[in-house]
Amino acid sequence: MADARRRHPGNLPGPWFVDMTCIDCDVSRQCAPWMFGTAGGQAVVVRQPASADEVRDATRALLACPTGSIGAIGQTLEPAGLFPEPIEGGVAYCGYTSRESFGANSYFVARAEGNLLVDSPRFVPPLVSHFEAKGGLALVLLTHRDDVADAERYATHFGARVVIHEDDQDAAPFATDILRDAEENELQPGLVALPAPGHTKGSVVYLLEQRFLFSGDSLYFSRGLGRLAAFRDATWYSWEEQARSLARLVGRRFEWVLPGHGNRAQGEPREWSRQLASLVESMQGAPAGSEW
Q: How far apart, in Å, do the first and last CA atoms of the chain sit? A: 26
Residue pLDDT, tens place only, 242-283: 999 999 999 999 999 999 999 999 999 999 999 999 999 999
* Cβ–Cβ < 8 Å for 195, 203: yes
- Distance of CA 86 to CAs 33, 108, 128, 201, 249, Å? 18, 9, 16, 31, 26
* Mean of pLDDT values over 213-218: 98
Distance (Å, rounded) from C-alpha 58 to C-alpha 49?
7
Distance (Å, rounded) from C-alpha 102 to C-alpha 48?
25
Domains of the chain: 4-69 (3.30.70.20), 85-284 (3.60.15.10)
Sign for the CA dihedral angle at 242, 244, 245, 247 comes to positive
3 state DSSP class of 56: helix
3 state DSSP class of 86: strand
Residue pLDDT, tens place only, 65-105: 999 999 999 999 999 999 999 999 999 999 999 999 999 99
| pLDDT for residue 182 | 87
| pLDDT for residue 290 | 45
In this prediction, residue 286 has a pLDDT band, given cuts at 50, 70 and 90, of: low
* Cβ–Cβ < 8 Å for 241, 233: no
* Mean of pLDDT values over 186-210: 98
The residues, ordered by sequence, that sit 6+ positions from 264 with a Cβ below 8 Å of its Cβ are 30, 87, 93, 105, 221, 256, 257, 258
Residue pLDDT, tens place only, 148-168: 999 999 999 999 999 999 999
